[in-house]
Every structure is written in C-alpha cells, then in structure tokens.
Structure 1
Amino acid sequence: MSRMRDDDLIIRTARVQDERQLADLNRAEWSVLSDVGPRPAEGTGVFDRRHPPEQYLLALLGAQVVGYVRQVPPTPLAVNTHVRQIQGLAVDGSVRGRGIGRALVEAACAAARAEGARRITLRVLGHNAPARRLYERCGFRVEGLLSEEFLIDGRYVDDVWMARRLDG
C-alpha cells in the first residue's frame, strides 16, 4: 500500500454540503464491530439539531470524504465543560492503514484542547481490537469497562471506556 504524503490529506470541519458524502461513508462503514445501533437506512442524513456539522471533522483526499471523527461535550452540565468525548470515528476501508484514523483522532484532541478541554474520552466495543489499538497508540488508556453491556449478533460485548489527558 502506498504511503500518504502529508499534503494529500486535508482535515477540516464539516459543512452542510458534505452531508451526502458523510452519510454514504457512515452507512458504508457501519459494522457490528463498531456500532450498537442499526445500519443507517439508504437516504438517511447525518446532520440534525443534536448533530450539527461543526461537531464533525472530515478527512478528505482530493474532494472525497474518506473519514470523520465527531467530538462533543459529553453532557450539557457546566461541571464537566473541561471534558470532550469522541462519539464517532470512521475511515473508508479502501484507505485504511494510511494514518487517516490517527490523524483524525489527533485533530479531535487538538480541537478539544483549543476549546479548553483537559480530557477527552470515548467508548469502544471490547471486540473492536483495531480501534482499541488505534486509541492506545494515540495515548488513550482504559479507565473502565462495563462487562457484557451489549448483545450484538448473539454475542455479549463489553463497553470499554477510554480517556486521554490533554493538558500535558
């Protein structure tokens, strides 16, 4: 597989006009390995009042959306405004292994830090070894585990909580 040049990849905030490409990627990359909800239906959008474009960072190669990460405050409470949470990450299977996932995670961490966050958290399914390895390489550590939290495809799966400090 060819290595990506740094100038090939653009990471930027999503725009309303990106919704179709983002929705197509989200639907194409849906998997029981990473998702607890049902596969998004054909023609289903991504953006709504709770999921505005500014919550998403997109990875683009040329004009093609090849990945995204969604980073948000975990609650509306003032007492944890210092925390952000990754609530979605996907990379097009045709470009995996080129550092795009790591670039998206690092961009989400940088954006969270710029917003004043000291910590960033996420939840990952216990059987999703590739995602867990990615997060560990990006400095996330397991902080908790809800054993057999989900029943997916007839199998009980753990919900793993991971976090990374951003202030040092």
Structure 2
Amino acid sequence: MFKVGHVYRRFTLASGKKVTLRVLRWEDLDGLLMFINSLVNEKQGDKKSTLYTGFDRKVTREEEVEWLAQTLVAIEGESVINMVADINGKIIANGDVTRGRYKDTHHHGHIGLTMISKYRGQGIGRRMIETLVRESRRAGLRTLDAEFLADNETARRAYERAGFKQAGIIPHKVFRNGRYFDGLIMAREL
C-alpha cells in the first residue's frame, strides 16, 4: 500500500487545469476543512443536491483534526485506501475504499467519493474510481460496492464505466427537504 502523500497520477482537464490524485497528508488539514464545509454549503443551499448522507453542519477544525488523524492511521494500517484530487494545492475531491472489518469480509471494500460541484462531470470522478479500483485490486481486495442517491446519474455513469453493476435499491433511504430518496447500491468483482 502507498504511504501518506503518494501521487497516484496526474492529468490535465479540457480547461487546462492540472489535477493530481494523491494520498492525504497531515498538511491537508486546512484544505480538507474548506472542502468539507463547502460541501455543507452546497447541500444546504441546493435542494436538488445529489450529495448523499452527512454534510448536515459545518465541521470544526478540532473535528477535522480528529478525522484526519484517524484516517491517516487507517491508511498506514492498510484498512483504507485514500485519494484526494487537488488542483493547484486546493482539494476538490476526496475518495476512499474502506476494507471490510471482519475476517470473512476482509476481501471486500466499500468505495466512496465526494467532489465539489463545479468540478463534477469533467472526468475527475471517473479517473478517481478507476484508480481506486486498481489500487483495491493491488491491495488484494476481490469485490467493491458503492452506495449513493439513485437519481445521481453522474455517479451512476462513472461507476458503470468502471465496471460496476446495479446490485440493489434501498427504498426511501434518505429523507431530505420533505421527501424520500432511494439509495442505489452498485458492486463489482475485481
């Protein structure tokens, strides 16, 4: 497994912006805090937001310190494969694969990915998913699943392109803005 700060890949968007996909590092604390709180603003300000669960309130610096410390320990302990996308040092996306906790699920991982809205639909998420799939295979995982809002077509397309298939629907999983949304589970073998 890769260590903190390792660069997975670099690429250039059609706009000319250069993206680096890399593992989190301690120095990302302030950037992560801005990232997570921008997602909170998005979810609170856009009733049609396709962000999944969480992002209900602003995160304090102390909370982010605790989360980052736990995540870095999990990366070093090889229970999490992590990746951020950064453009000119600004974190615009965060993704990870969490390995199953138990002996009989240790071969399985759950993949999650979140991105600032203005960067969605430009191929960053697809590249992150492809890289996380590759690194999951390298880490010895055999299967992956992802879960997100069923009407998040951008996420669905990105996961389908990476070989994921629909595995199930959880009716009314999320209640937001006075209505229910289904959760979609997609999965694939590696």
TM-score normalised by L of structure 1? 0.83
- Alignment correspondent of 2:9: none
Task: Find 1:43's aligned residue among 60, 63, 71.
Answer: 60
Read off the aligned partner of 2:34 and give its amino acid letter: D
Measured in 2, the distance between the counterparts of 1:85 and 1:42 equals 23
How far apart in 1 are the matches of 2:179 and 2:30? 33
The 5 Å alignment of 1:56-95 reads 56-73=82-99, 75-87=100-112, 89-95=113-119
Measure, in 1, the Cα distance between the counterparts of 2:88 and 2:59. Answer: 25
Tell me by how many angstroms 1:38 deviates: 4.3
State the Cα distance separating 1:12 from its structure 2 match: 0.9
Aligned counterpart in structure 2 of residue 19 of structure 1, from 29, 32, 44: 29
The letter of the residue matching 2:107 is H
Which of 53, 61, 72 matches 1:52?
72
Q: Please state how far the C-alpha of 1:67 moved relative to its aligned partner.
A: 1.4
Q: How many residues align?
A: 161
User: Quick one: distance in 2 between partners of 1:119 and 1:94?
Assistant: 31
Distance 1:15 1:70 in 2: 14
Of residues 14, 28, 31, the one that matches 1:3 is: 14
Question: Structure 1: 5+ residue runs without aligned partners?
Answer: none
| Larger RCO, structures 1/2 (Cα 8 Å, 6+ apart) | 1
Q: Is the 8 A contact 2:36 2:55 kept in 1?
A: no
TM-score under structure 2 normalisation? Answer: 0.74
The separation in 2 between residues aligned to 1:26 and 1:132, in whole angstroms, is 22
Structure 2, unaligned runs of 5 or more = 1-12, 44-48
Greater helix proportion: 2
Deviation at 1:117, TM superposition (A): 0.7
Question: Per-residue deviation at 1:79?
Answer: 0.7
Segments of 4+ moved more than 4 angstroms: none
**CA-atom RMSD, angstroms?**
2.2
Q: Structure 1 residues 94, 157: closer, same or farther in 2, change over 3 A?
A: closer
Residues in 1 aligned to 2:108 and 2:19: alpha-carbon distance in whole angstroms: 27
Distance 1:42 1:162 in 2: 29
Counterpart AA for 1:25? F
Summarize the Cα distance change of 1:149–1:92 in structure 2 as closer, same or farther, 3 Å threshold.
closer
In 2: Cα distance, 1:83 partner to 1:96 partner: 27
Please say if residues 57 and 68 of structure 1, whose CA atoms lie closer than 8 Å, have aligned partners that are also in contact: yes
